[in-house]
Amino acid sequence: MRILILAAMDKEVQLIKNILENAKCENVNGNLPIIRGSINGHTIYVGKCGIGKVNAAVNTLLLINTLHPDLILNSGVAGGAGLPIGSVLVADNVAYDDVWCGPGTTYGQADNNPLFFTPYTETINLIRDSGLDRHVVFGLICSGDKFISSSEEIAFIRSHFPDVKAVDMESAAIAHVCHMTSTPFNIIRVVSDTPGEGENISQYKDFWVKAPEKTFTILKDLIQHI
């Protein structure tokens, strides 16, 4: 199986690189840097999608068209909405938290698209069947083009999506592209900060100082069960 792992930032990519066997850096299409390696016989590509919805969408589509992956896994960090720092969240639904197409439309729903993008259920079932669910939480991830830092912002998102568990800036865009290209995907995020609960920007910075690499090894454990 060809699996593409996407992360928004270089430091996330480097943590993911550490779980690969025979990792090598290369360019595809002349200017798209990726890391190629393997886990348990699967060919693994790691790419940086960039921060924000447009970067994530463009780079996801470019890498899909170039690498033709069988599965996309998006990993990285997210702000927790009721989850403590260090929690590993596996999305069972993904939505935009900053999209509104006007009166008569549903908040969060882009025109001619679903309100919720549904991840690949076989992977979620595999996590449950393998016992990995003891180490993760399942729930809704919402995405928008803003670093969420206040309780007011979280309250606004909750007013539209009461079940939200975490917020980030890329997952919904990646899910949207995967929906449009019929590419199976899953989102796995580690909570780095808790908006509205203390100084979450300081929490975020501290997370990267103290975060152990084991926070990303859930990816390796998952892939080894595929």
3-state SS assignment for residue 53: helix
What pLDDT, on the 0 to 100 scale, is given for residue 13? 93
What pLDDT, on the 0 to 100 scale, is given for residue 133? 82
What pLDDT, on the 0 to 100 scale, is given for residue 123? 94
What pLDDT, on the 0 to 100 scale, is given for residue 47? 97
Q: Among the options 12, 97, 168, 170, which is catalytic?
A: 12
What pLDDT, on the 0 to 100 scale, is given for residue 211? 63
Q: Which residue has the tokens 């180490």?
A: 135
What pLDDT, on the 0 to 100 scale, is given for residue 212? 56
Active-site residue 152, yes or no?
A: no
Q: Among the options 21, 163, 193, 213, which is catalytic?
A: 193
Provide the CA 16 distance to its chain's centre, in angstroms: 13
Whole-angstrom Cα distance, residue 161 to residue 99? 13
Specify burial of residue 130 (Cβ count, 10 A radius: 0-12, 13-18, 19+).
middle
Whole-angstrom Cα distance, residue 81 to residue 152? 12
Element (H, E) at 180: helix 171-181
* 92 φ/ψ angles, rounded to the nearest 5 degrees: -105, -10
Total domains present in the chain = 1
* Pair of tokens at residue 20: 């690969």
Identity at 158, one-letter amino acid code: R
What pLDDT, on the 0 to 100 scale, is given for residue 188? 94
Active-site residue 12, yes or no?
A: yes
pLDDT per 10-residue tile (average), the chain, 226 residues: 95 91 91 94 96 98 97 94 91 98 95 96 92 90 95 96 98 99 97 82 79 70 86
What pLDDT, on the 0 to 100 scale, is given for residue 207? 81
CATH of the domain at 37: 3.40.50.1580
Residues 20-34 as b/e (b if ≥16 CB within 10 A, e otherwise) read beeeeeeeeeeeeeb
Element (H, E) at 61: helix 53-67
What pLDDT, on the 0 to 100 scale, is given for residue 125? 94
Identity at 217, one-letter amino acid code: T
Q: Residue 74 belongs to what domain range?
A: 2-225
